[in-house]
Amino acid sequence: MSPAKPGQNESATPASGAEAREDFGRFLDMSSDVMLVVGSNGEFLRVNDTFRTVFGYDIDDLQSLRFFDLFESRPQMREAEDFEARMRTKDGRVLWMRWHQKLFGDQLYCVGRDLTGIKQHEAALERRQKQLSEAEAIGHMGHWRWEMGRDDIEWSEEIFRIFGEDSKTFSPSIHKLTERVHRRDVGRVVQAFQRAIIEEKDYDMEFRIARTGGETRYIHCEGRCEKDANGEVVALYGIMQDMTERVLYEQELHKAKDTSERAYAAKSQFLANMSHELRTPLNAIIGFSEMMQQQMLGPLGNEKYVDYINGIHESGAHLLDLISDILDMSRIEAGKYELDLESLNVVKVINAACHMIQPRADEAKIKISTVGLKNEKLKIVADRRAFMQIMLNILSNAVKFTPDGGSVTIDCVEREGFISIRVTDTGIGIPPNKLASITRPFEQVSLSYARNHGGSGLGLAITKELVELHGGTLLIDSELNVGTTVTVRLPFEAVQKS
């Protein structure tokens, strides 16, 4: 065909037969489909350019080649006018081709389309769909979509599993969904959907469903709005996740927590009652043994009795200490320890505590130094009895766990909003692996040492609780055979912490 002159198209004259053939030849070469004519023995009679580009064969190659040689397995072409087949190119690549063929006389006309790209995409899509549905099965989570105005909903395989339905026989719909949602949750679910549509917002809710057999499952549902080009909501879509195992586990956990809290409260109550009951007879034992020690009503006679009565008095006093500790601990644990807050002079209380510890320190020739207490006017708002107990516990430990001839130093610094009291000793120290547990009730580093020096293992636990009740913190630093520093940080103005 000769090149068209301007304006020639509109007044196109019919092409001659030769021109038309030439035209068609060109069109065929331009087509993206492969076209060929095959003889009765499969020999190539004519092929278009696309065939050569797709399969990579030259005209010369085709002399010795038959159409069937290009197929991976010989197709039964006579039976089907349309078929798909895997074929090989000259350089060995595999192509997926779809063929349309027709017999004219003894010549077979074939038009083929390369589907390799589409097939690869299909395979990738299938792979991804499989991965998605496996991931959904692992996470017990499926996806869904609902087009507004319709009754049916699209569900992924996992949602069928969550609802205990067979995807082959069950067709999900709004109607069937609301039928399965727990009676008390239906209203909330419908409302959430309506709000999502009206407010065009993402939403998120939890509801229960009853499976056909009556089994309850807990569902977490999250959704989004799908909008069209005009910004109108046209569909809702999202995920549903089966939370049943987690919800049941949480319920069990709550139950267990309640039970243990009740048992704990009962134990604390029992200890509080017992401690109270034990104190009365103990006070009698201590009081009367003290009178006997002093031989107020006349001499005891035998020297041995004096020894015994000293023993009775000492043991009674020790038992009373222990019972007071247990009572304090159980009151704190039961949340019944009320702080009686007042403004108090820090140095005065610390000095009073030192004074009470002094006899024991003197016995072991341990020097207590308070030169670090500089500001004698320093005041904080705290519970006097609790603050005294804190200082006594820390100081008595410092003396108790420091070998003869050692020293205990106390200092106090003021920071913004709080004070920091440090008690440092040159004692046996605490092993690093025990530092964290030592403030728990009844924890002691060495039973034999504690037995020799007395102590219940409650002192630090009570101290820590009391400090924290004031809104403060207790810190322990220690090095074995070097010494221990206990730091108490207390706010200037304590507020009872519950």
Backbone angles phi, psi at 329, to 5 degrees: -60, -45
Closest CA to 334 of 388, 282, 273: 273
Q: Which of 398, 474, 488, 490 binds ligand ADP (CB under 6 A)?
A: 398
Q: Tokens representing 139?
A: 């996470």
CA distances from 462 to 159, 201, 232, 317, 390 (A): 54, 52, 65, 19, 8
Per-residue x/- track, 295-314, ligand ADP (CB under 6 A): --------------------
Assess 326 for contact with ligand ADP (CB under 6 A): no
Smaller CB distance to ligand ADP: residue 368 or 438? 438
**Other C-beta atoms within 10 Å of 494: how many?**
21
Smaller CB distance to ligand ADP: residue 460 or 494? 460
Per-residue x/- track, 340-379, ligand ADP (CB under 6 A): ----------------------------------------
| Smallest distance from ligand ADP to CB 430, Å | 5
Q: Which residue type is seen at 34?
A: V
Assess 484 for contact with ligand ADP (CB under 6 A): yes
| Smallest distance from ligand ADP to CB 281, Å | 23
Give just the sign of the alpha carbon dihedral 119, 123, 125, 129.
positive
Give just the sign of the alpha carbon dihedral 9, 10, 16, 21.
positive
Assess 401 for contact with ligand ADP (CB under 6 A): yes
| Smallest distance from ligand ADP to CB 295, Å | 33
Smaller CB distance to ligand ADP: residue 292 or 486? 486
Smaller CB distance to ligand ADP: residue 281 or 431? 431
Smaller CB distance to ligand ADP: residue 172 or 427? 427
Q: Tokens representing 117?
A: 């790209």
Closest CA to 478 of 421, 401, 381: 401
Question: Angle, nearest 10°, between helix axes 384-400 and 346-363?
Answer: 30
Residues 423-482 that bind ligand ADP (CB under 6 A): 425, 427-430, 438, 443-445, 450, 455-461
How many residues bind ligand ADP (CB under 6 A)? The answer is: 22
Query: Quick one: which segment of 147-155, 249-257, 309-317, 395-403 binds ligand ADP (CB under 6 A)?
Result: 395-403
| Smallest distance from ligand ADP to CB 438, Å | 4
The CA-based angle 368-370-376, given to 5 degrees, is 155
186 CB contacts (<8 Å, ≥6 apart)? 178
Pairing of strands 367-372, 407-414: parallel
| Smallest distance from ligand ADP to CB 383, Å | 19
Smaller CB distance to ligand ADP: residue 350 or 430? 430
| Smallest distance from ligand ADP to CB 262, Å | 27
Give the span between the Cα atoms of 297 and 496, in whole angstroms: 48
**Other C-beta atoms within 10 Å of 445: how many?**
19
Smaller CB distance to ligand ADP: residue 136 or 325? 325
Smaller CB distance to ligand ADP: residue 141 or 488? 488
| Smallest distance from ligand ADP to CB 361, Å | 13
**Residue pointed to by tokens 């000293």:** 310
Smaller CB distance to ligand ADP: residue 50 or 456? 456
Question: Angle, nearest 10°, between helix axes 303-333 and 459-469?
Answer: 40
What is the binding site for ligand ADP (CB under 6 A)?
Answer: 393, 397-398, 401, 425, 427-430, 438, 443-445, 450, 455-461, 484
